[in-house]
Amino acid sequence: MPVAYNKDHAARIAPYFEAQFYRASNPDLDLRHQDPLVHFLTQGWREGRDPSPFFDVKYYLHVHQDIAAADMNPLVHYVLAGKSEGRSACRPMDAQRRCIESARPLRERAQDWAGAEDRQPPQAPAAVLDALRAATARRAGLVVSVSHDDYARNLGGVQNLVLQEREAFEQMGWAQLHLSPAAPLPLLAQPEEPDAFRFAVRLGQDRLGIVLAEDLIAALGVVRQEGLALLLVIHHLMGLQPEALLPVAQLTAAPPVVWTHDFFTLCPSYALLRNDVRFCGAPPPGSGACGICVHGEERAGHLTRLRAFFEATSPIVLAPSESAFRIWSQRSGLPRGAAHVQPLARHVAASRPVVTAGDRPIRIAHIGMRMVHKGWPVFQELALRFGTDPRYAFYQLGIGQGAGVPAHVEQVSVQVTRERPNAMVEAIAAHGIDVVVNWPAWPETFCYAAYEAIAGGAFLLTHHGAGNVSALAAQVAPRQGLVLEDEAALVALFEADGLGQALARAERHRGVLIPQGGTAAWLFGTAEGGALRRRIMGQPAAVAGVAALLEVAADV
């Protein structure tokens, strides 16, 4: 039976009601001529319909049976009394539990990726060779760069790096051949028929199209025979067949370079998130942890194939940060050649400190996607807990996709593009963000968002297990960063006046991020890279100045 409309109740719950969410999650209702809030108040709650992603009607009534017995609208109760009584609006750890419940084996998830496949017919072998010869004529060498997607069509850290490398290599007289899978996948491609593996190929900035592995290897063999120096650089193996890349590695006169942008070489769950929710540390594949993880079954075969590739090639490992290298080398056990740390960007602080108005709430932001591995649930929990606290104001800066945004969080749409690489840094400064909470669920290998926070003049809050983010925050602490033990310490900081005190002591500076040129910078700018380069070229070569190369990279 419908409940009578109560105007006062409507006003009280309005800040906790999300009309758009209500419409989207109740497609069976015709709400064209009715206010969703009125529907919820008079009928919806009785039908178990949730008013927002942050209030679970059925859960509230199930665990608070006194409210169920009183036949009271659970959200009205929560707002009027339940919240101050400390009653939960939804299941404890709801965001993490939703994540666990939606975790699926990657093989199953791969079915959703089928639409991304480039089904064009492959290029003729002669055309591949002609294009390769034309692109490498009068070039000192060819870098064969491998990653999980077409860097020119997608945005992201690895994609940017591949682009930077192309331009840096071209400046140094080399050409870049980029290989990605024609059928992108969230895991390694099946190992069958490596000769027929379909690469999506880009030569320099031009897309060559689809090339079969055997045709590519034949063409590379010819140009190699003709004296061209080759270097294989693997940024990522997702969607690829290591077996199809092995003949490429064997054509070169030196081991390939393998980057550890994440931990895909340790597990198909590249952030090492067990059940997509908790950092696992890459335990032994037969362990109990792998036994209960949705990625456990896939991992055994994945590791066997990667070990075979590493054993055959003994690659040089480049890590984007000290912490990425430390974790990778401690956990991998994979055979390798030399290993080096090559940061992807450098932060240079401006000399003048940021001046903030002292008579407004502290502005706290999550920047980037609202994803579990980026720490969104922790930020969301903070916002739900302290959203009405007059000391704080909460923001999310980034694209609007992902989990819902709780009331009291202002969503600011920011998109970093090739044309606007500093969009996030500028947005942080423009919105006067004081604090960025960067609380990743895994040890980030190189987190642009953390650097953007610092460059935008914000204070960086993170935890000990955040990898490169922890290192950066420790580096700028106590002026502009703080590394906390755990979530309890984070909540305690907000509850007491710890954050206000930390900010009062802080001296924040804006700054700029300078890209470092990736493999090209390492190859042309370091002694170890120079040694490899001479080996590839088969002859001593003049070492380019580091400064010149950084200049190139900065231009990119």
By CB under 8 A, name the binding residues for another protein: 62-63, 91-93, 96-97, 100-101, 103, 274-275, 277-278, 280-284, 287-294
- Judged by CB, which is closer to another protein: 61, or 502? 61
Block residue for tokens 């704080």: 392
- Judged by CB, which is closer to another protein: 427, or 441? 441
- Judged by CB, which is closer to another protein: 196, or 300? 300
Compute the least distance from the CB of residue 191 to another protein, in Å.
25
- What is the rounded distance in angstroms from the CA atom of residue 322 to the CA atom of residue 338? 15
- Judged by CB, which is closer to another protein: 289, or 403? 289
- Judged by CB, which is closer to another protein: 250, or 287? 287
Compute the least distance from the CB of residue 330 to another protein, in Å.
10
- Judged by CB, which is closer to another protein: 284, or 540? 284
3-state DSSP percent of the chain in helix, strand and coil, to 5: 45, 20, 40
- What is the rounded distance in angstroms from the CA atom of residue 313 to the CA atom of residue 243? 11
- Judged by CB, which is closer to another protein: 280, or 469? 280
Contacts of 220 (CB under 8 A, 6+ apart): 132, 142, 144, 230, 248, 251
- Judged by CB, which is closer to another protein: 62, or 360? 62
Compute the least distance from the CB of residue 110 to another protein, in Å.
18
- Judged by CB, which is closer to another protein: 280, or 482? 280
Compute the least distance from the CB of residue 462 to another protein, in Å.
19
- What is the rounded distance in angstroms from the CA atom of residue 23 to the CA atom of residue 37? 10
Counting Cα atoms < 13 Å in the Cβ hemisphere of 338 gives 12
As to burial, measured by CB atoms within 10 angstroms (0-12 exposed, 13-18 middle, 19+ buried), residue 555 is exposed
Compute the least distance from the CB of residue 444 to another protein, in Å.
17
What are the start-end ranges of the E strands in 406-497?
409-413, 435-437, 459-463, 481-484
Of 476, 446, 441, residue with least CA distance to 461:
476
Compute the least distance from the CB of residue 93 to another protein, in Å.
6
Q: Is the peptide bond before 247 cis (omega within 30 degrees of 0)?
A: no
369 in Cβ contact with 401 (< 8 Å)? yes
Compute the least distance from the CB of residue 152 to another protein, in Å.
38
Compute the least distance from the CB of residue 88 to another protein, in Å.
9
Instruction: Please give the C-alpha separations between residue 59 and each of 65, 87, 436, in angstroms, as whole numbers.
Output: 10, 11, 32
Compute the least distance from the CB of residue 103 to another protein, in Å.
7
- What is the rounded distance in angstroms from the CA atom of residue 10 to the CA atom of residue 443? 44
Beta bridge partners of 397: 367, 412
- Pairing state between β 392-398 and 362-367: parallel
> Side chain identity at 231, as an amino acid letter?
L
Contacts of 213 (CB under 8 A, 6+ apart): 194, 195, 196, 197, 198, 199, 241, 244, 247
For the chain, report the end-to-end CA distance as a whole number of angstroms: 65
